[in-house]
Structure 1
Amino acid sequence: MVRVGIIGAGIVGSTMAYELSRIPGLEIIILEKNPPNHWEATGAALGVLLGGLSQKRGGKHLQLRQASLKRWDTLISELEAITGQPLPYNRHGILELCFDCQAWTKWQGIQGDRQTQGFPLALWSVAEVQAHYPEVATGGLVGGIFSAQDRQIAPIPVTQALRQAAQHQGAKFHFQAQLEPMVTSSGQVRQLSWQHQADQQSQEIDVLVIAAGLGSSSLTAELAATIPLQPVLGQAIHYRCPTPLTQNWPVIQGHDIHLVPILHSSPASPEFWVGATVEFPVDSFAPEQPDPVKLSQLQAQALDLFPFLAQAEVVTTWSGIRPRPVNRPAPIIEPLANYENVYLATGHYRNGILLAPITAQLIATEITQILQP
C-alpha cells in the first residue's frame, strides 16, 4: 500500500483526492487547515471553464485547458452517480463579445484551429448576437464568438461532491488540521503530524502532494525551497433580476467582464455574478484590501454591456484571493526539487477550477509510476 498525503482540500486537492482514491493500492489522507465550510481560492472563483475561447492557438497550456475541460464532462457525471445528487453544471457554452476588428480577424483564424482540436467555434454577426440575447448591448460590437464546448460549474458544491466521492472511496479528510514540522530523511518527507484541537495525530507517508494555494509557499520554505506566490485579489457582484430573461444563458464575456449565471437561481428571477476585478498588491506578497473604486468601475462597465442589470437588485458583493506564481507561468505542477517523493500542484492563479482535473491526472500519473513493479 502506497500512502499519499495531500495538503490542501480546495478544488485542486479535492479533485486529486478523488482521482487518486480510484487507483487500487493507494491510501489517501488530506490535511486542510480550515473548517470544511471555509473557502479560500476555491471560493474566489466564478467557475468559468474556458478552453475553446482561449486566444492561444496551440501550445502546452491550451492542451491542458482542453484536456481538463473534457474531463469535467465525465467527472460531473461520475460525481452525480456516486453522490446521488445533481450538480450545477452549465452546458450552454460561453459567448465572447468582440469589439475590435483586428481581434475579429484573429478569431477567424483561430476558428479553423479549434475545429481541428474538437472545440468548434461559431462566429455570430451582430444581428445574430442580438437575436440570441437581446438583453446584451451591441454598441461598437463587431461580432460574437460562441463556444458550445466551454462550460461553467459552481465551485463550492462541486468541491463538496468531490470530497464526498473521495471519502466514499476510502480517502480520509482531516479539517482544521494544524500542521507541525514535517519529518524528512534522505531527500524524502516521511511523516506528517498535525493537531486538531487538543488531539495530536501523525501519519507516515510515501508520497506528499502540496496543493495549498498561497500556503504552499510557507510549506515549501520549510523544505528549503522557494516557491513565491503572489496574492491577486478579485471582486464580483451578485445581481438578482426582477423579471424573467432569455432562457438557457451561457457565460457571456466582453472587455474582460464576465456575466455568469448563478445556476440554482429561479427562472422567474434569474441571478448572475458579474466579475471579476484583477487587483495586484503593492507589496508583492501582502494581500490588498478590496478597492471600492475598482468595484464601482466594474459595475459601470457591466451596466454598459448588460443594461438590464440597472433594474436588478445587488444581492451582495464578493472578494477573494487567487495565488499567482512570481516570475514564472501558472500553474506549478511538478516534483519539488531535491525531494524524491514531493509534488507541487499549486499556483493556478485564475484557472484553478478549470485545471483541477488535469492537475489531478498529471499527479496521478506520477504516483502510479511508483506502483510499477
Structure 2
Amino acid sequence: MKQQSEMILIGGGLIGLSLAVELKLRGATVTVLSRNQQEAAGLVAAGMLAPQAEQIPSGPMLDLCLRSRALYNDWTRKLEEMTGLETGYWPCGILAPVYERPDCTTLPQTPETPSYWLERDAILHQQPGLGNDVVGGWWFPQDAQVDNRRGLIKTLQTAAQELGVTIIEGITVEKIVTSPDQKVTEVQTNQGIFRADHYILTTGAWSGELLSIPVYPRKGQMLSVRVPDDFKSLPLQQVLFGSNIYIVPRRDGLIVIGATSEPVGFTTGLTPQGVETLLSDAIRLYPILKEFPIQEFWWGFRPETPDLFPILGPSSWDNLTLAVGHYRNGILLAPVTAQLIANWVLNAQTDPLLHHFRSDRFQTLR
C-alpha cells in the first residue's frame, strides 16, 4: 500500500495531535501515523502547567514555557468550542511545600510571574492538612493544570478527526528513507509505504530509534486516588508540588499522584518499589491521602535529551522537521510547539526562540 499526503506527522501523541490540529486549521492536508498512544508521555503525565513551580532557570527554556502557559487559556477554549468537550484546564495555581527552609525565599519574578513565600502558618492556612515536616513553601498563582488523560488528548483527537485529519492507529514506522539530495523520500511502516511533501517527527521517546538524535526514554509510574463521597467539598483546591512528588486534584474528586523518573530504557510495567515510593512520598506531604481509595496505576515514557530542552525546528533533511524531546514539559509546551512549528513548516517563519532548540546544538557541544 502506498499513500501520498501533503504532510505526514510521525507520532500521534499529544505533540503530534496538537500540531496536526494547528496545521489543518491553516489549510494543510495532514496524516498522523500513531504507534501506541497508551505509552506516550502525554498520558503518563499529571497535566501540570508549572514553569514556575519547576523553578526552570531564566533563559530560553523558561521563556518558551511561559509563552506556552500564556497561550493555554485561549488554546483550550478554542478546542472546547470546536468539539463540545472539556479539556480540564484549571488555572488553580500550584503550591510548592518544602521540608527545609531555603537560605533565600525570594525568587525572580515579574508582574506576569508572581511568587510568594509562605511560612508554615501561612501555608497551612492556604492548604490545611499538610504534613508535619512541612516548614513553608512557595505559592505560584499563575501556574495551572489540565486533565491530559481524560480531557485534553480526547479533545485533540476529536478536533483532529472533525477537521479531517487522517489518523492511522497501530502503525509502526520502521524506516525513514532519505536521498543523497538531503530529502526524505518515504517512510516504511508495518502497513506499507507513505509519502508526503513534508514530514514532521513527533515520536517522543522513540525518536532516537528512527533518527540519530539524542532522545532517550525516561520511564514514569503514576497512580490516582479519589476523594471519598462523604467529603462535602474538595480538600485540595490547588496542585501540591513537593520534593520528588506532585499531587494534582481534579475538579471531580480524582487526585493524580506522580511520578517516578527511571532511566530503564523501554522496560514496561509497574514495580512495587515505584508504587511504594509514590505512596510514601505523597502521604508524607499530604497525610490524609492514606485514607483515600486507590483508583488506577499506570506508566509511560518521557522523551529526555542531554540538556533537557526539546528539539524543535529543521533537521539535516530539507523536508523533515523535528518536534521531539519535550521530557517533563510536553503538555505545557504543546500549544507553543504547534504554533512555532506550523509557522516554520508553512511559512518558513523562524521565531528567535527556535534557535535555542535546534538539533544541531548537540553537534556543537560534541
With structure 2 as the length reference, what TM-score do the two structures score? Answer: 0.85
Segment drifting more, 140-149 vs 238-247: 238-247
- SS of match in other structure, 1:74: helix
Task: Look up the equivalent residue of 1:250 and give its one-letter code.
Answer: Q
Q: Hey, what's the Cα distance between the residues in 1 that align with 2:189 and 2:8? A: 12
Distance 1:227 1:306, change over 3 A: same
CA distance 1:235–1:95, change in 2 (3 Å): same
2:300 to 317, 320, 325: 320
Q: 1:8 to 1:288 in 2, by over 3 A?
A: closer
Corresponding residue for residue 332 of structure 2: 354
- Correspondent of 2:31 among 29, 32, 44: 29
Q: Report sequence identity in percent.
A: 28
The structural deviation recorded for 1:93 is 1.1
Give the 3 Å change call, closer, same or farther, for CA 358–345 of structure 1 in structure 2.
Answer: same
Aligned residues of 2:94 and 2:139 also touching (Cα < 8 A): yes
Q: Secondary structure at the match of 2:38?
A: coil
1:342 has 2:320 as partner: yes
Please report the RMSD computed on the Cα atoms of aligned residues, expressed in angstroms: 2.4
User: Is the aligned partner of 1:152 residue 2:145?
Assistant: yes
Paired residue for 2:54? Answer: 54
Per the alignment, residue 263 of structure 2 pairs with 280
1:223 match = none
Structure 2 partner of 1:234: 220
The residue identity in structure 2 corresponding to 1:202 is F
One-letter amino acid of the structure 1 residue matched with residue 250 of structure 2: I
The structure 2 residue matched to 1:16, chosen from 15, 19, 30, is: 19
* CA displacement at 1:249 relative to structure 2: 1.3
Q: What are the equivalent positions in structure 2 for 1:48-127 lying under 5 Å apart?
A: 48-102=48-102, 105=104, 107-108=105-106, 110=107, 113-116=108-111, 118-127=112-121
Residue 305 of structure 1: aligned partner: 285
1:286 Cα offset (Å): 4.8
- Give the drift of 1:92: 1.1
Q: Equivalent residue for 2:359?
A: none
Per the TM alignment, residue 322 of structure 1 is displaced from its structure 2 partner at its CA by 1.5
Distance in 2 (CA, whole Å) between partners of 1:371 and 1:131 is 48
Query: Compared with structure 1, are the counterparts of its residues 363 and 31 closer, same or farther at alpha carbon in structure 2 (3 Å cutoff)?
Result: same
| Distance in 2 separating the partners of 1:27 and 1:115 | 41
CA distance in structure 1 between the partners assigned to 2:303 and 2:182 by the alignment: 27
Give the number of aligned pairs: 342
Per the alignment, residue 354 of structure 2 pairs with none
- Name the residue aligned to 1:294: 274
Does the CA contact (< 8 Å) of 1:241 and 1:313 recur in 2?
A: yes
CA 1:49–1:303 in structure 2 vs 1: closer, same or farther (change >3 Å)? same
| One-letter amino acid of the structure 2 residue matched with residue 369 of structure 1 | N
Aligned to 2:206: 215
Identify if the C-alpha distance between structure 1 residues 195 and 230 changes in structure 2 by more than 3 Å, giving closer, same or farther. closer
Amino acid at match of 1:258: Y
Q: Is the alpha carbon distance of 1:248 and 1:301 closer, same or farther for their aligned partners in structure 2, counting shifts above 3 Å? A: closer
Report the counterpart of residue 362 of structure 2 in structure 1: none
Aligned-pair distance for 1:86?
2.5
Which runs of structure 1 show a deviation greater than 6 angstroms over 4 or more consecutive aligned residues?
none
Structure 1's 234 and 29: CA in aligned 2 closer, same or farther, altered over 3 A?
A: same
Relative to 1, partners in 2 of residues 1:236 and 1:33: Cα closer, same or farther, differing over 3 Å? closer
